[in-house]
Amino acid sequence: MEVTMKRSATATWKGGPRAGEGTIRTASGVFDKVIYTYGTSTMDVPCTNPSEIFAAAEAACVSMMVARELSKEGISPEAIETRAEIELAPDGDSWNIPRIHLVIKAHVPEVDSAKFQEAVIRAKKTCPISRSLKSEITLEALIEPVVLA
């Protein structure tokens, strides 16, 4: 029998789209009553928003999958840092995410560049967040000579 996993989060919204606000809560409790507003989704306001949380999910997933792919080769990375930059574009009367750009930096002393690049490409293909998207995903992969902070 195939084993599946389920993860959940709850978002609550109060008020209209422009003047209202919402909270996000994850089942794990790591996010609890995280506030977001309409303005933080589409404008440059210093607060979290669904787009930022989505980018964090993509970055975290890819980092874990790079570690997984390297471990299949018997390689243990000391640190992997992935930055996901999502592009929001108008799409009719709504918004779309046409592109995501990933910058992956890793400190992996015992790996050559070619093996690292192959692992990164496999990671992008196996990350469940990436696989669920129709967005174009581009990436840069860099081996860092020092441990990342």
For 35-45, what is each residue's pLDDT tens digit? 887 765 555 54
CA dihedral 108, 122, 58, 143 (to 10 degrees): 20
Residues 66 and 37 in one domain: no
| Owning domain of residue 5 | 1-48
Question: 104 and 124: one domain?
Answer: yes
Let me know: does 106 contact 67? Beta carbons within 8 Å.
no
Tokens of 26: 């994850």
- Please indicate, yes or no, whether residues 37 and 55 belong to a single structural domain of this protein: no
* Section 68-90 average pLDDT: 93
Does residue 43 share a domain with residue 11?
A: yes
Q: Is the pTM of this model over 0.85?
A: no
Q: Is the pLDDT of residue 148 over 70?
A: no
Same-domain status, 54 and 39: no
> Are the CB atoms for 145 and 77 separated by under 8 Å?
no
Token pair belonging to 66: 């790079």
Q: List pLDDT tens digits, range 14-37.
A: 998 877 888 889 999 998 888 887
* Distance, CA of 1 to CA of 47 (rounded, Å): 43
